[in-house]
Structure 1
Amino acid sequence: MSTPPLLSVRDLTMTFPGRGSRSARVRAVDGVSFDIAQGETLGLVGESGCGKSTTGRMIVRLLEPTSGTVTYDGRDISRLSARALKPLRREIQMVFQDPHSSLNPRRTVSRIIADPLLVQGSSAAEARARAAELLELVGLLPEHLDRFPHEFSGGQAQRIGIARALATGPRLVVADEPVSALDVSVQAQIVNLMGRLQRELGLSYLFVAHDLSVVRRVCDRVAVMYLGRIVEIGPKERVYGAPAHPYTRALLSAVPLPDPAAERARERITLLGDPPSPAAPPPGCTFHPRCPKAQALCRTESPPLRRTAAGEAREVACHFPETG
């Protein structure tokens, strides 16, 4: 018998109201479904505005889903009250994109890390001692406890953000673009840190990102989003080695290769135009206005997310997926 997933998301939808009284409602997330196993990292990738960060925020209930379910460890948490959700916040935490804007500039590092523990009932002495342990765990020193966020570099500030997320001993961490605001050299340090923490603490990650090179390094499986929907999901070896959706192929063709000869020789796929507005998505497959393979069926019928072949661990939402 297979082990149930730690997190199961089904048909998750988020609709925002338009800006004017007559404006169309914006469906930022449109029926997203995926699972995350204990100890697994799922990468969620796509262009800016595709809904990946909104999906992450709904999972930790910073945003209330319009519809759909979020099941954590066998329990539906998508409609829990704030009071019922409080104990579960120990187990589900978030790391934000911009480390400095996510840290309170008027609080010391000690208070920033200790606050989640104080909310959960720890004493001030216990919370400070735990904060010192966590700073060492993420590669900083206990002497940094009484400093303020502006005294740290971007990489150090993100380490503090990670320490805060780990304060309550979570099992699942939603990392929303955790390295995109950092220098490339610092990105590698933070990625290595997150990998080490996962191995030592048994963490599961939802890793939201747009940098496909980083995702390939840290993730076990990859889900590709376009205009609020997942268009391809599967093991990273399959998604990167033989992408089945035209959008995935286009994204991967834009990732620079370290070998200049291979970079010059490979096919570069250029998509037509910009992504459509989620307030007025096109009929049929939402990718068809930009797709080089679009046919008449694509303009009228939305493809479901389905396996490309029997026994295939990957699912693709395309009428004419690549095979191989």
Structure 2
Amino acid sequence: MTAAAAAPVAPLPAPPAPLLSVRDLKMTFPGRTAFPGWMAFPGRRARSAAVRAVDGVSFDLAAGETLGLVGESGCGKSTTGRMIVRLLEPTAGSVVYDGRDISRLRQRALKPLRRELQMVFQDPHSSLNPRWTAARIIADPLLVQGGSAAGARRRAAELLELVGLLPQHLDRYPHEFSGGQAQRIGIARALATGPRLIVADEPVSALDVSVQAQIVNLLARLQEELGPAFLFISHDLSVVKRVCDRVAVMYLGRIVETGDKERVYAAPAHPYTRALLSAVPLPDPAAERARERIMLSGTLPSPAAPPPGCTFHPRCPKAREVCRSEVPLLRVATAGEAREVACHFPEPEPSG
């Protein structure tokens, strides 16, 4: 045996740990108490069923990556985002940020991490204090973290220019801005403390189509220049394809498919993903007319009373008996492929 053959092979470097690791995250809202016929039956109360808004969500997000979280309204996307930044307390599960479980941290311990975890909200005007100027809105995170008033104002002016507004806008109030301008202020506020992770909750859904494109391009540019990781929550799959690296599809509180966006969009494995993508309009009129639109039967079940087994089975054209009794686990769809699907009968990979 030669010396070269006997030399030990250097092990491959371990992949970097994810910036964010969410495991089995759950959020259950208690049912409301009602008083039906309280005048006729004093003392009797009725309580509605608890709502399982998020029911065991798990995913990883690398530093500098953008993950799109998509699904119908009411599937638990926004609730997931709010738990990650701790605007909501999870019922169960863990949120590990940069190697530290933050899902049970008290507010005092969480305060320093607020610099690195920020959020952009859906409705720009309702998320901005109408009594504060743009300067105060953007500077407030810096002031909370102990920054000086003069330094915070200078930083606010820099951020306004970064998001495409002018320094003279500093002393205007939210009602003096259009929806797109107000959302730019919300983005500037999120960037004020130099975060490493931004949760963008439907950041363009409340805007006109022309303004949506401007905000999407702005977010893509900021991600490229500043490098924060984004959890991009949306029901618009065309927008998600523009800005995201990977996609996670949610249905009734659970992730049913996740993977690289090119693979998911080209060959969706879950019937629900296929139905969502069939509703995305194509820019080519001829291709739009020729393709088949998948129409789901039934309506979205209530998260207060989800179906047994696979929660999608009442609307799934491929449902069989096992789908009605066994919950499918999120597992690798094809060997060697970084994509997972929660389906007993996933769509096969296209040949060739």
TM-score range, shorter-chain basis? over 0.9
Q: SS of 1:173's equivalent?
A: strand
| Residues in 2 aligned to 1:129 and 1:305: alpha-carbon distance in whole angstroms | 48
| Residues in 2 aligned to 1:74 and 1:107: alpha-carbon distance in whole angstroms | 36
TM-score normalised to structure 2 length:
0.91
Q: SS of 1:251's equivalent?
A: helix
1:4 is aligned to 17
1:309 is aligned to 334
Count how many residue pairs are aligned between Structure 1 and Structure 2: 324
| Residues in 1 aligned to 2:180 and 2:327: alpha-carbon distance in whole angstroms | 42
TM-score normalised to structure 1 length:
0.99
| Residues in 2 aligned to 1:220 and 1:124: alpha-carbon distance in whole angstroms | 38
Runs (4+) of structure 1 moved beyond 6 Å?
none
2:112 is aligned to 87
| Residues in 1 aligned to 2:52 and 2:152: alpha-carbon distance in whole angstroms | 41
The answer for unaligned runs of 5 or more in structure 1 is: none
1:254 is aligned to 279
| Residues in 1 aligned to 2:153 and 2:283: alpha-carbon distance in whole angstroms | 45
| Residues in 1 aligned to 2:180 and 2:242: alpha-carbon distance in whole angstroms | 19
1:150 is the counterpart of 2:175? yes
Pairs within 5 Å for 1:155-234: 155-234=180-259
2:41 is aligned to none
Q: C-alpha displacement at 1:73, in angstroms?
A: 0.5
| Residue from 23, 36, 57 that aligns with 1:32 | 57
1:318 is aligned to 343
Amino acid at match of 1:321: P
Deviations 1:16-58 (A, max 9, x none): 0111253211100000000110110000000000000000000
Q: SS of 1:146's equivalent?
A: coil
Deviations 1:65-117 (A, max 9, x none): 00000000111000000000000000000000000110000100010011111
1:109 is aligned to 134
Q: C-alpha displacement at 1:166, in angstroms?
A: 0.5
Q: SS of 1:249's equivalent?
A: helix
Question: Bigger radius of gyration, 1 or 2?
Answer: 2
Matched residues, percent identical?
84
The answer for unaligned runs of 5 or more in structure 2 is: 1-13, 34-45
Deviations 1:124-144 (A, max 9, x none): 111111101110111111110
Deviations 1:123-165 (A, max 9, x none): 1111111101110111111110000000011110000000000
Deviations 1:175-195 (A, max 9, x none): 000000111111111111111
| Residue from 16, 22, 27 that aligns with 2:29 | 16
Q: CA RMSD in A?
A: 0.6
| Residues in 2 aligned to 1:121 and 1:162: alpha-carbon distance in whole angstroms | 21
Q: SS of 1:199's equivalent?
A: helix
Amino acid at match of 2:90: P
Deviations 1:257-287 (A, max 9, x none): 1111111111111001111000000101000
| Residues in 1 aligned to 2:78 and 2:62: alpha-carbon distance in whole angstroms | 20
Q: SS of 1:174's equivalent?
A: strand
| Residues in 1 aligned to 2:248 and 2:211: alpha-carbon distance in whole angstroms | 25
1:43 is aligned to 68
1:77 is the counterpart of 2:102? yes
| Residues in 2 aligned to 1:257 and 1:203: alpha-carbon distance in whole angstroms | 30
| Residues in 1 aligned to 2:19 and 2:310: alpha-carbon distance in whole angstroms | 31
